[in-house]
Amino acid sequence: MYKVKSSKVHGKGVFASEFIPKNKEIIEYRGEKITKKEGDRRSEKRIKKYLNSKKTGSVYIFELNSRYDIDGSFGYNKARFINHSCNPNCEVKIEKGQIWIVSLKNIKKNQELSYDYGYEFDKEDYKDHICKCGYKNCIGYIISSDDIHKYKKHLKKVQKK
């Protein structure tokens, strides 16, 4: 149903190897179930590693619920290569301790899968998360569609100074 290959968006991506209908569970985001505290520790360590080097990298820590995260950095987790988009064709469904990537619309063969990473807007570090999705209305940063208004409010304040 999907294949991993080079992406124009970022590094590798996941692409449909056949037509995928709307509302189809495509791939489970798998990995080690860890506590929030451990997830935060691993995230911080990985972020520092990549910010202090010329390499690009990803954290692969996915929030499962208020107590646990999934560390999806393992080779068997192909879902970790699904890139963010400001105009996604998939969404995340968390149910019964599992994280599924589900199609929001019909996806054509060879089309790259994407979803909104849902990063909350934080005026201190939003610039660390550059978006390269190429969508005509992309704001240039990976910020949850729910938080775009916070970003725009922040921009107005900065522009007044």
* Predicted confidence (pLDDT) per residue in 79-122, tens digit: 999 999 999 999 999 999 999 999 999 999 999 999 999 899 99
> Closest Cα partner for 91 from 69, 73, 114, 121?
114
Report the percent of the chain where pLDDT is more than 70.
96
Residue carrying structure tokens 């590798």: 12
Neighbours of 146 (CB within 10 A): 11
Q: In whole angstroms, what is the distance from residue 158 CA to residue 52 CA?
A: 27
Q: In whole angstroms, what is the distance from residue 123 CA to residue 136 CA?
A: 23
Residue 57, H or E segment: none
Helix, strand, coil fractions of the chain, as percent rounded to 5: 25, 30, 45
Q: In whole angstroms, what is the distance from residue 12 CA to residue 34 CA?
A: 25
As beta bridge partners, residue 62 has: 70
pTM value is 0.89
Q: Which two tokens stand for residue 135?
A: 């969508």
pLDDT band (50, 70, 90) for residue 49: confident
Q: In whole angstroms, what is the distance from residue 71 CA to residue 78 CA?
A: 13
